[in-house]
Amino acid sequence: MWTTLFRRSSTRALLLLLVSSFAPAGAHAAGAPLRIDDHLPERLSLTFVSRARYEFLHNRFRALTSGDADILVFRTLIHARFAATDKLTFGAEMIDARSYLQDGLVSTGIVNAVELLQGYTELDFDWPPGGTSELRAGRITMNVGSRRFAARNRFRNTINAFTGIDWRWRGEGQREARAFWTLPVQRRPFRPKDTEDNKIQFDRETIDVQFWGLFYGDSLPGEHRGELFVFGLHEDDTDRRPTRNRQLVTPGFRFWKPPAKGALDYMIESALQFGKSRANPVSTRDLDHFAHFHHVEVGWSFDAPASPRLLAQFDYASGDDDPTDGKNGRFNTLFGARRFDFGPTGIYGPFARANLVTPGLRLRLKPTKTVSSFVSLRSFWLASDRDAWVAAGLRDPTGQSGSYLGTQIELRVRWDVLPGNLRLESGLAHLFAGGFRDDAPLSSGQGDATYVYAQATVRF
């Protein structure tokens, strides 16, 4: 297995080296990064980011899949902003996300060719008193709080977008308030054959799916910080797009102390979720929905060479205990990102914030100013053994397959070859299969899974 993995990975990864040829000849590690803005009029801004990544997965683990898979993905972002006045700005961002070498793996989570990711008007004003406000209207992307419930995706090849309004106020210190109402953008095309062909088909939104939120954050005594939030998702079935008919409200909080050398830090985040939902897209039965999610981490940053930081982490996302009781207890992560908690996504991504119990340890190292890395070890169980391993599409309604999904070890290294212009990154995740992987209906039962990737990112 390892010989095959190395041969295929190294051959495809050579393609990534071509990206480095685009590195600016005049840039150097000690100097400022080159920017297109440096050669444009003062009121015009243009950012270009291009990324190439090769991924290889040994032993596919999702329902009705087996064997190995690989894929080569590209993502290019071009973001332009024009400041009409000191208070009024117009912006537009294009995305071109494509894939090659794939074998039935692609979806709109990987492919979104030639699409308007953002197109907005931004207005700045000094109200309410004591701070400044920013109001964006149009098609936008968002990072809210910890990014566990609303995020602009970083590792995933495509990015969540929303059409609506987003108001953000920043006051003295780190005080912040935010309110938004949006229509989530539905990426297209829907047909697998079209995504495999990187077909250009413009995304769209509909009033039948609405996402809103309220958020407040502030500093607390003793270098601590706190946030309160509530998100709402209202989704109705349509003839053209069957859904789970979700009517969900998700209130929660987050408290944390930022890392500091020679000191203890922590983070606690919890959310409840209630409303109505359905068991699957083909069901017409509305279920009472009540679910919850909790994240706890405690860390210590050593005052030592390579700046080591050790983290103990724990996540719990509730599952549905009884598929026949007319209730749904499975937590829904809304539009959050998961790579920073549970490992790489892409063609891997075995874990999501749904029906999951997972403790873990993580060690972060920064041996030089331009190199950073981490190693993590996490074990995973189903919160309910009668509910699904959601990301894998496997379920045993009887609960007889157990709840242990496996233990994952992950490594990642980043090197800013030309800081601000060229970054190289590589990672590996190995999932030691648990009993559920071997025994669940529709599982290939192939055992352990291994995922490796290498990527290069160019930015101007």
Other beta carbons within 10 Å of 282: 8
Tokens of 232: 């709402």
Measured CA to CA, the distance from residue 272 to residue 250 in angstroms comes to 6
| Enclosing H/E stretch for 15 | helix 2-17
Question: Residue 240's pLDDT is what?
Answer: 59
- Interval 91-108 mean pLDDT: 90
Q: Dump pLDDT digits (tens) for 174-201.
A: 999 999 999 999 999 988 889 999 999 9
| Comparison of pLDDT for 213 and 15, the residue scoring more | 213
**Is the CB of residue 54 less than 8 Å from the CB of residue 12?**
yes
Query: Is residue 446 very low, low, confident or very high in pLDDT (cuts 50, 70, 90)?
Result: confident
Cα–Cα nearest to 101, from 72, 131, 133, 138: 72
Res 203 pLDDT > 80: yes
Query: Is residue 102 very low, low, confident or very high in pLDDT (cuts 50, 70, 90)?
Result: confident
Cα–Cα nearest to 58, from 444, 457, 456: 444
Report which listed range, 12-16, 160-164, 276-280, is most confident: 160-164
Residue 278, φ and ψ in degrees, nearest 5: -125, 155
Measured CA to CA, the distance from residue 33 to residue 21 in angstroms comes to 16
- Interval 411-429 mean pLDDT: 98
CA 397, 399, 401 angle in degrees (round to 5)? 110
Question: Residue 238's pLDDT is what?
Answer: 67
Question: Residue 104's pLDDT is what?
Answer: 66
Question: Residue 315's pLDDT is what?
Answer: 98
* Residue type for position 267: M
Q: Dump pLDDT digits (tens) for 308-365.
A: 999 999 999 999 999 889 999 999 999 999 999 999 999 999 999 999 999 999 999 9
Question: Residue 28's pLDDT is what?
Answer: 44
Tokens of 415: 């090197």
Greatest Cα-to-Cα distance within the chain, rounded to the nearest angstrom: 66
Question: Residue 190's pLDDT is what?
Answer: 85
Q: Domains in the chain and their CATH numbers?
A: 2-459 (2.40.160.100)
* Residue type for position 409: I
* Residue type for position 117: L
Average pLDDT, the chain: 92
Res 457 pLDDT > 70: yes
Residues 132-156 as b/e (b if ≥16 CB within 10 A, e otherwise) read: ebeebebbbbbebbbbbbbbbbebb
Res 30 pLDDT > 60: no
- Interval 432-458 mean pLDDT: 94
Question: Residue 31's pLDDT is what?
Answer: 75
CA 40, 45, 51 angle in degrees (round to 5)? 110
Question: Residue 237's pLDDT is what?
Answer: 76
Question: Residue 20's pLDDT is what?
Answer: 41
Measured CA to CA, the distance from residue 381 to residue 191 in angstroms comes to 33
Res 223 pLDDT > 60: yes
Question: Residue 243's pLDDT is what?
Answer: 63
- Interval 377-396 mean pLDDT: 97
SS3 assignment, position 143: coil
- Is residue 87 left, alpha or beta, with left meaning phi > 0 and alpha meaning psi from -120 to 50? alpha
Query: Is residue 13 very low, low, confident or very high in pLDDT (cuts 50, 70, 90)?
Result: very low
Res 253 pLDDT > 50: yes
| Comparison of pLDDT for 196 and 8, the residue scoring more | 196
- Interval 34-56 mean pLDDT: 97
Measured CA to CA, the distance from residue 250 to residue 212 in angstroms comes to 10
Question: Residue 2's pLDDT is what?
Answer: 41
**Is the CB of residue 301 less than 8 Å from the CB of residue 367?**
no
| SS3 per residue for 63-118 | CCCCCCEEEEEEEEEEEEEEECCCCEEEEEEEEEEEEECCCCCCCCCCCEEEEEEE
Q: What is the pTM of this model?
A: 0.92
Question: Residue 16's pLDDT is what?
Answer: 42
Cα–Cα nearest to 96, from 202, 192, 205: 202
